[in-house]
């Protein structure tokens, strides 16, 4: 009975996302016609996230290690245990930003729209696709758009989830462009909705998110990419270990 109720909640949450997306579709479509309007799409995505999670009884408690200058451009990296991690970052990151995500999301009614406009889709099995995705990400960063990357590259299969090793693409890019990295720890989104919610369902509740202070990269060289990767991994791992 409990699992059945949690699955009903998942369906309600998914319905609410689709409902608010379709409600705003005429505006989204208008904005998608010209790339110079794309920054407003990101603002509407934040609104869809807020409305759909709130009506589903899901709320984010976001804490910042220090005040962040959102006028700067960042590479934002976080651990990934739930689809709610994307929603949390949409709310926590106060600047214009885009996500890098798997190309399978292009077939999703809602996410597909964003990956055809403001986000960057990548075939994780193709080195050429990865190269093109990071090239596009570099162009976005140079134009003042922050980029969100989940360096685990997948949601862990274990339940409760564990923190997987990070891939170093995000950190090489950060060093190449001298862009600071903001680690974000998703502490317990998986307790509200793990992965997509298809197995265990979801429930109303609070998700605790911790935004760490930026890690500067201006003094680093590409030889330091692995060290930077491990430093960010340790920052998130230590935060997870204190709760």
Q: 61-79 pLDDT, tens per residue?
A: 999 999 999 999 999 999 9
Task: Determine what percent of the chain is predicted with pLDDT higher than 90.
Answer: 96
Q: How far apart are CA 84 and CA 189, in angstroms?
A: 6
> What pLDDT, on a 0 to 100 scale, did the predictor assign at position 206?
98
1 pLDDT more than 70? no
Q: Is the peptide bond before 111 cis (omega within 30 degrees of 0)?
A: no
Q: How far apart are CA 125 and CA 121, in angstroms?
A: 12
> What pLDDT, on a 0 to 100 scale, did the predictor assign at position 2?
86
- What residue spans of 178-219 are helical by DSSP H? 189-192
> What pLDDT, on a 0 to 100 scale, did the predictor assign at position 124?
84
Mean pLDDT for 220-236 is 98
Q: What pairing do the DSSP bridges indicate for beta strands 97-102 and 120-122? A: parallel
> What pLDDT, on a 0 to 100 scale, did the predictor assign at position 188?
97
Please give the model's pTM, rounded to 2 decimal places: 0.95
**CATH classification of 2-241, choosing from 1.10.3470, 3.40.1130, 3.30.160, 3.40.50?**
3.40.1130
Q: What pairing do the DSSP bridges indicate for beta strands 205-211 and 58-64? A: parallel
Mean pLDDT for 26-52 is 96
Q: How far apart are CA 147 and CA 110, in angstroms?
A: 20
If one compares 241 and 177, the residue with the highest pLDDT of the two is 177
> What pLDDT, on a 0 to 100 scale, did the predictor assign at position 92?
98
What is the tens place of the pLDDT at every residue in 103-136? 999 999 999 999 999 999 999 889 999 999 999 9
Structure tokens at 113: 């729209």
Mean pLDDT for 212-218 is 98
8 Å CB contact between 182 and 62: no
44 pLDDT more than 80? yes
């Amino acid at each position: 009975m409990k699992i059945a109720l949690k699955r009903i909640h998942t369906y309600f949450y998914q319905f609410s996302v689709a409902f608010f997306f379709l409600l705003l579709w005429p505006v989204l479509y208008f904005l998608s016609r010209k790339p110079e309007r794309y920054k407003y799409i990101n603002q509407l995505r934040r609104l869809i996230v807020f409305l759909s999670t709130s009506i589903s009884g899901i709320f984010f408690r976001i804490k910042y290690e220090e005040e962040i200058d959102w006028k700067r451009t960042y590479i934002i990296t976080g651990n990934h245990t739930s689809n709610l991690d994307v929603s949390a970052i949409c709310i926590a990151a106060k600047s214009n930003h885009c996500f890098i995500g798997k190309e399978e999301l292009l077939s999703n009614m809602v996410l597909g729209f964003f990956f055809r406009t403001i986000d960057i889709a990548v075939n994780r099995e193709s080195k050429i696709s990865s190269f093109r995705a990071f090239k596009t990400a570099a162009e976005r960063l140079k134009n003042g758009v922050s980029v969100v990357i989940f360096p685990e590259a997948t949601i862990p299969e274990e339940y409760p989830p564990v923190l997987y090793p990070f891939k170093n693409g995000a950190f090489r890019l950060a060093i190449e462009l001298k862009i600071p990295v903001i680690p974000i720890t998703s502490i317990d989104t998986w307790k509200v909705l793990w992965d997509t919610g298809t197995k265990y369902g979801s429930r109303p509740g609070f998700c605790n998110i911790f935004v760490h202070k930026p890690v500067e990269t201006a003094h680093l060289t590409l030889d330091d990419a692995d060290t930077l990767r491990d430093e960010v991994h340790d920052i998130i791992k230590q935060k997870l270990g204190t709760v």
